[in-house]
Amino acid sequence: MDAQMIAVVVAGLGGLGVVVWVLAKLGKALIKIAEVLAAAAVVVLALWLMVKAVVWALRQTLTHWRTSLAVVALLAWWGWSSLVVTVGVVVGVLTGWRLVSVASFDAWAGRYLRAWSRRWAIYAPKFPDWLHACGLSVTQDAAPVVVTLSPLGRALGRSRSRSQVRGEIPRVVGVRSGASWDEVRVRLVPGQKPEGFDEAARALASARGVARCQVRELTPNVVSIDFQRRNLLTDPVPCPDLSTLTGIHGGAVDLRRVWSGRTEYGQDWHVPLAGGHTLVAGATGAGKNSVMWCPLVSIAPAIRDGWVRVSGIDPKGMELAYGRGIFHRYAVTGTDAVAVLDDLIDAMNTRKTEFAGRVRSVPISPTHPLELLEFDEIGALTRYTDRKTRDAITERVALLTTQGRALGFTVRGYVQEPTKDTVPVRELFPRRICLRVSARKCPAARNKATGWC
């Protein structure tokens, strides 16, 4: 190998060494820069998280200002140790109270604690997402904003418009929690109506993970969205024991507020027997019989003392037969039903003549008792019988329902198929109770504008 070749090799190795040395120095510099950037990123991230935590704490403090003021006042008054001891004692007392008497605990403390915890742990954070997913938010498009992509956009024609979308979600204004239901009160935003929430009830139930949801209108802009956590009516509700009613005077019975069972909310259910007529719709086995008999048991003292006189029309001859003794008038066939209705109309006309121009409504007394007609399977005689009997019964029921309220005459009818064809005088019953029915259209047909369900 000549000297020139050796010089080239030495120069190349020297150059490679210089490159390696430069790269090593550069690598060390980059490592230091990366360490500085990483440290800066950690500091920035920590500061951002701290700011976010402070903002969240301030927001929660302002949102729950009453709780915040109470905690600050307790801390200032008692200090940490006393507050911890007090909280422990309160928790222990509440736990013992619940173990001893669940009913009194839930009535006086449990429902308030449950409502508070469910509002802030479940409904406040999750409910807005549920409403938005169920289509119950209002989206408003703001004025379009023009964004120019180039300073020469006017010349090149390269510009686009973007609309800003703003969504409003109803705000939760209160939560109540009972033994079986959660009632979430929501204030509507402009552009919404209660019917929209009613249509989305099934979707809301699925979002909450419960079997049933129903919507009640409280005020024109506030609705209560009720979620059923469990069904309290899986077991039959017992009627009052007649032995406990023997000492009650008939005149002490409030005929405008008669105990008739319990609601799915766990509360007593009262229905009026005086002052209006009632039509009950329900398929076979839905429980129409209980709606009939439970109020009659509750007013047993009034029936005994002559303040209420009950008449019965029983086309099947089964539902009212085992209580035959309490009925002043009783009919099974269509002919007998017409006779019962005629007798009631004659009594109504007599009372009308006696009190005309003296009072607006006849006071109930043993001399002028409440005439209560229990008409079972009314559709059997207003639809499924011969035309002559059908027309006669329809005409007489119409007279009683249009004139009897102020005169102390009440009609309660029961039907399986609540259509206008089956009960032509359906609209003359101002109170309507819909039980389980066989068709979806039945509740709407029954309850329309003034019904109950």
pLDDT digits (tens, 9 = 90+) for 239-283: 888 888 988 999 999 999 999 999 888 889 999 999 889 999 998
Per-residue burial over 78-116, b if 16 or more Cβ lie within 10 Å, else e, is eeeeeeeeeeeeeeeeeeeeeeeeeeebbeeebeeebbe
Asked if residue 43 is part of any domain, the answer here is: no
One domain for residues 189 and 284 = no
One domain for residues 246 and 199 = no
One domain for residues 335 and 439 = yes
- The values of phi and psi at residue 238, to 5°, are -70, 145
C-alpha 159/C-alpha 239 separation (Å) is 76
Number of structural domains, the chain?
Answer: 2
Asked if residue 326 is part of any domain, the answer here is: yes
Asked if residue 346 is part of any domain, the answer here is: yes
With CA atoms as reference, report the closest residue to 212 among 261, 171, 262, 265: 265
| Burial (CB count within 10 angstroms: exposed 0-12, middle 13-18, buried 19+), residue 137 | middle
pLDDT tens-digit profile of 158-201? 444 444 445 688 999 999 998 889 999 999 999 899 999 999 99
C-alpha 280/C-alpha 413 separation (Å) is 6
One domain for residues 301 and 217 = no
With CA atoms as reference, report the closest residue to 223 among 187, 189, 196, 191: 187
Check whether 13 has a pLDDT greater than 80: no
- The values of phi and psi at residue 416, to 5°, are -90, -40
The string of DSSP codes covering 263-276 is -TTSSEEEE-SSSS
C-alpha 84/C-alpha 375 separation (Å) is 65
Asked if residue 440 is part of any domain, the answer here is: yes
C-alpha 78/C-alpha 12 separation (Å) is 82
Element (H, E) at 261: strand 258-262
C-alpha 64/C-alpha 362 separation (Å) is 55
Look at 217 and 155; give whichever has higher pLDDT.
217
Residue 211 belongs to domain spanning: 116-139+167-228
Report, as an integer, the average pLDDT of 218-232: 92
Asked if residue 179 is part of any domain, the answer here is: yes
pLDDT at 157: 45
Token representation of residue 114: 């449950």
pLDDT tens-digit profile of 107-146? 888 888 999 889 888 998 899 999 999 999 887 655 555 5
Instruction: Read off the amino acid at residue 405.
Output: R
With CA atoms as reference, report the closest residue to 425 among 385, 391, 448: 391
Report, as an integer, the average pLDDT of 288-309: 93
One domain for residues 306 and 412 = yes
pLDDT at 348: 95
- Per the CB < 8 A criterion, the answer to whether 239 and 299 are in contact is no
pLDDT at 1: 57
One domain for residues 373 and 266 = yes
pLDDT at 452: 37
Check whether 58 has a pLDDT greater than 90: no
One domain for residues 184 and 322 = no
One domain for residues 298 and 425 = yes
Task: Categorize the per-residue pLDDT at 223 as very low, low, confident or very high, splitting at 50, 70 and 90.
Answer: very high
Highest mean pLDDT (candidates 31-35, 197-201, 419-423, 441-445): 197-201
Look at 103 and 398; give whichever has higher pLDDT.
398
pLDDT at 374: 95
Q: What whole-number percentage of the chain has pLDDT above 70? A: 90
C-alpha 298/C-alpha 251 separation (Å) is 13
DSSP 245: T
The radius of gyration of the chain's CA atoms, rounded to the nearest angstrom, is: 38
Asked if residue 382 is part of any domain, the answer here is: yes
Token representation of residue 250: 């008939």
Highest mean pLDDT (candidates 115-124, 131-140, 284-293, 364-373): 364-373
Token representation of residue 72: 């600050």
pLDDT at 107: 80
Asked if residue 144 is part of any domain, the answer here is: no
Residue 403 sits in a domain of what CATH number?
Answer: 3.40.50.300
Tell which phi-psi region holds residue 411, choosing left (phi > 0), alpha (psi between -120 and 50) or beta.
beta
pLDDT at 10: 72
Which residues does 433 contact at the CB level (< 8 Å), separation at least 6?
271, 278, 279, 280, 281, 291, 451, 452, 453
One domain for residues 403 and 279 = yes
Check whether 62 has a pLDDT greater than 50: yes
Residue 192 sits in a domain of what CATH number?
Answer: 3.30.980.40
Task: Categorize the per-residue pLDDT at 441 as very low, low, confident or very high, splitting at 50, 70 and 90.
Answer: low
C-alpha 280/C-alpha 289 separation (Å) is 10
With CA atoms as reference, report the closest residue to 240 among 304, 300, 303, 298: 298
Count of CB atoms situated within 10 Å of the CB of 412: 24
- Per the CB < 8 A criterion, the answer to whether 170 and 186 are in contact is yes
Report, as an integer, the average pLDDT of 227-249: 88
Report, as an integer, the average pLDDT of 335-354: 94
- The values of phi and psi at residue 242, to 5°, are -60, -30
- Whose tokens are 């109270």? That residue is 97
Token representation of residue 48: 């951002």
Element (H, E) at 98: helix 80-100
pLDDT at 378: 92
pLDDT at 3: 75
Which residues does 384 contact at the CB level (< 8 Å), separation at least 6?
none
Element (H, E) at 161: strand 159-162
C-alpha 135/C-alpha 129 separation (Å) is 10
pLDDT at 34: 87
